[in-house]
Amino acid sequence: MYSDLKKQSMCYIVNRIKLILSLLLILSLLVSCAKVVDEDVEWQLESLPVVFSIISPNHIVQVSVSKTLVENEKPDSIYYPEARVFIRAEDENWIELTRQSSETAVYNDVNNKIEVEAGKTYFLRMDLPDRTITAQTSVPSQEAAILEAQYIVDSEPPTESPNYMGTLNAKLRLPISNKCIMMALAYDIGVDNSVFINQENVVDRFSVSDSIDSFNLKLITFDSGLEKYWKATAISSTQAFYDGSFAVFIGAYCGLLPRYSNIVNGVGLFASYVVVSKSVAVSLP
């Protein structure tokens, strides 16, 4: 019996050695076949210009300029005092913007020479001594529309609350190539349906103050750059990280946050949107 146990033990050891050798062989083959590729790092350890501008019809064009900071670099409120910022529409001449002040790096179209129109493409240029920064955006066409909208207060009136609870029913026409969100705005109301609307018949419940008899319903259409920016912001706002949680790394590098920078030779966003609005009466039962 002792002899049999010894044989079984020897067989077990031999099989384990064979298994380990097989795994080592497979690993060596995988390593030998691997291809080493140098990938460019998206965020280099250097200070870069940051340009941010979102344009829309019936709004003055503004461009904010700042910079990324690296280690041991002191923050400053005066960014690129030598910068010159220009914007033009397609097939038109460049129009230079005016810096707001020596202490604020915001550039304005003070003479209202730039008329932002739906469906047109606009180009941005910022000249620096060592580089030229460019970007472009195509303002969405005015395809979206609020065809019908009504807000009906619930049959039971409020007791102690100064607000009415009710239901909004809206019929929309949505664009094919762009995404929309819807917002209900008034002095005593601020409902933001910041998820992108994907259906033309919308039913939403929210409360309004008993002191108002109507509110503005806005349907906002984003261009592709602003859409990506909005998605990234929405995803970031829903991520809750706790001290010592490994979820910090998973949330930051799992690929959920899309790239939204469309600035050439810098970082930031040059985007656009259009808005249609409709006044909605608060209908009591």
Helices (H), the chain: 2-33, 224-238, 247-253
CB-based contacts of 208, cutoff 8 Å, min separation 6 = 151, 163, 164, 166, 186, 188, 189, 215, 282
CB-based contacts of 89, cutoff 8 Å, min separation 6 = 114, 115, 117, 120, 121, 122, 123
Question: With contact defined as beta carbons under 8 Å apart, do 194 and 229 qualify?
Answer: no
* 263 pLDDT higher than 70: yes
Of the two residues 257 and 100, the one the predictor is more confident about is 100
Confidence of residue 249 (pLDDT cuts 50, 70, 90): very low
Question: With contact defined as beta carbons under 8 Å apart, do 141 and 190 qualify?
Answer: no
Confidence of residue 188 (pLDDT cuts 50, 70, 90): low
Question: With contact defined as beta carbons under 8 Å apart, do 154 and 198 qualify?
Answer: no
pLDDT value of residue 228: 87
Range 105-118 average pLDDT: 94
Longest C-alpha distance within the chain, in Å? 103
Helical (H) or strand (E) element with 100? strand 98-101
Confidence of residue 232 (pLDDT cuts 50, 70, 90): confident
Task: Indicate the pTM of the whole model.
Answer: 0.74
